[in-house]
Protein backbone atom coordinates (compact mmCIF):
# COMPACT_ATOMS: atom_id res chain seq x y z
CA UNK A 1 0.00 0.00 0.00
CA UNK A 2 1.31 3.42 -0.93
CA UNK A 3 -0.10 5.02 2.21
CA UNK A 4 2.29 2.97 4.35
CA UNK A 5 5.13 4.98 2.79
CA UNK A 6 3.42 8.29 3.67
CA UNK A 7 5.04 9.29 6.96
CA UNK A 8 4.74 12.23 9.35
CA UNK A 9 8.01 13.56 7.92
CA UNK A 10 6.49 13.71 4.43
CA UNK A 11 3.27 15.25 5.76
CA UNK A 12 5.33 17.93 7.53
CA UNK A 13 7.21 18.74 4.31
CA UNK A 14 3.93 19.11 2.42
CA UNK A 15 2.48 21.33 5.14
CA UNK A 16 5.57 23.56 4.92
CA UNK A 17 4.73 24.37 1.30
CA UNK A 18 3.11 27.78 1.13
CA UNK A 19 -0.11 27.65 -0.85
CA UNK A 20 -0.29 30.53 -3.35
CA UNK A 21 -3.88 31.34 -2.28
CA UNK A 22 -6.02 30.49 0.74
CA UNK A 23 -8.63 27.80 0.37
CA UNK A 24 -6.70 25.34 -1.77
CA UNK A 25 -7.79 21.98 -0.46
CA UNK A 26 -7.02 18.47 -1.55
CA UNK A 27 -7.33 14.94 -0.24
CA UNK A 28 -4.76 12.19 -0.38
CA UNK A 29 -6.30 8.83 -1.24
CA UNK A 30 -4.48 5.49 -1.17
CA UNK A 31 -4.96 3.71 -4.50
CA UNK A 32 -2.79 0.72 -3.51
CA UNK A 33 -0.03 1.38 -6.04
CA UNK A 34 -0.03 5.18 -5.78
CA UNK A 35 -1.46 8.07 -3.80
CA UNK A 36 -4.10 10.14 -5.55
CA UNK A 37 -4.18 13.86 -4.90
CA UNK A 38 -7.88 14.66 -5.30
CA UNK A 39 -8.85 18.20 -6.22
CA UNK A 40 -12.40 19.50 -6.32
CA UNK A 41 -13.36 21.21 -9.58
CA UNK A 42 -15.82 23.34 -7.60
CA UNK A 43 -12.95 24.58 -5.43
CA UNK A 44 -10.79 25.32 -8.47
CA UNK A 45 -13.56 27.29 -10.21
CA UNK A 46 -13.03 30.26 -7.87
CA UNK A 47 -9.58 30.93 -9.36
CA UNK A 48 -8.89 32.75 -12.62
CA UNK A 49 -6.61 31.21 -15.24
CA UNK A 50 -3.48 32.98 -13.96
CA UNK A 51 -4.19 31.84 -10.41
CA UNK A 52 -4.82 28.29 -11.61
CA UNK A 53 -1.28 28.16 -12.98
CA UNK A 54 0.04 28.96 -9.49
CA UNK A 55 -2.30 26.40 -7.91
CA UNK A 56 -1.12 23.68 -10.29
CA UNK A 57 2.54 24.56 -9.64
CA UNK A 58 1.78 24.14 -5.93
CA UNK A 59 0.13 20.74 -6.53
CA UNK A 60 3.09 19.73 -8.72
CA UNK A 61 5.37 20.50 -5.77
CA UNK A 62 3.24 18.19 -3.60
CA UNK A 63 3.60 15.43 -6.21
CA UNK A 64 7.36 16.04 -6.36
CA UNK A 65 7.72 15.68 -2.57
CA UNK A 66 5.87 12.37 -2.67
CA UNK A 67 7.94 11.09 -5.59
CA UNK A 68 11.21 12.13 -3.88
CA UNK A 69 10.23 9.74 -1.10
CA UNK A 70 9.48 6.85 -3.43
CA UNK A 71 5.71 7.30 -3.52
CA UNK A 72 3.97 7.23 -6.88
CA UNK A 73 1.42 10.02 -7.04
CA UNK A 74 -1.15 11.31 -9.49
CA UNK A 75 -3.69 14.12 -9.53
CA UNK A 76 -7.39 13.31 -9.86
CA UNK A 77 -10.28 15.71 -10.24
CA UNK A 78 -13.56 15.55 -8.38
CA UNK A 79 -16.17 16.66 -10.95
CA UNK A 80 -18.46 19.55 -10.09
CA UNK A 81 -22.08 18.52 -10.45
CA UNK A 82 -23.65 21.86 -9.53
Q: What is the pTM of this model?
A: 0.88
Question: Are the C-beta atoms of residues 40 and 31 closer than 8 Å to each other?
Answer: no
Any idea how long the chain is? 82
What is residue 18's predicted lDDT score, i.e. its pLDDT? 94
- Encode the chain (82 residues) as per-residue pLDDT tens digits: 566 788 899 999 999 999 999 989 899 999 988 999 999 999 999 999 999 999 999 999 999 999 999 999 999 999 988 7
The C-alpha atoms of residue 9 and residue 82 are separated, in whole angstroms, by: 37
Nearest to 75 by CA among 57, 49, 51, 48: 57
Is CATH 3.30.70 the right assignment for the domain spanning 2-78? yes
What is residue 2's predicted lDDT score, i.e. its pLDDT? 67
The structural domains of the chain, with segments of one domain joined by +, span 2-78
Amino acid sequence: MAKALYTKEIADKIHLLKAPYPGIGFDLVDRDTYIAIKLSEKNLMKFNSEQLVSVMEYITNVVDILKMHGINADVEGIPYRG
